[in-house]
Amino acid sequence: MKILHEAEERHVLTVIVDNEAGILAKIAGLFTARGYNIDSLTVADITENHAVSRITIVTHGPPAQIDQIHAQLERLIPVHKVIDLTEVGPYVERELALVKVAGTGDARVEALRVAEIFRAKPVDTTTSSFIFELTGTPDKIDTFVGLMRELGLVEVGRTGVVGMARGATGV
Q: What is the DSSP letter of 2?
A: P
Nearest to 22 by CA among 70, 77, 59, 84: 77
- β partners of residue 10: 60
CA dihedral (103, 107, 109, 110) positive or negative: negative
Residue 26 scores a pLDDT above 60: yes
The pTM of this model reads: 0.85
CA-based diameter of the chain, in Å? 63
Residue 141 pLDDT > 90, yes or no?
Answer: yes
* Cα separation, 50 vs 98, whole angstroms: 28
CB count, 10 Å around CB of 8? 13
Mean of pLDDT over the chain: 93
CA distances from 102 to 57, 134, 147 (A): 32, 17, 13
pLDDT value of position 150: 95
H helix count then E strand count, the chain: 5, 9
Q: What is the pLDDT of residue 171?
A: 79
Residue type (1 letter), 107? A
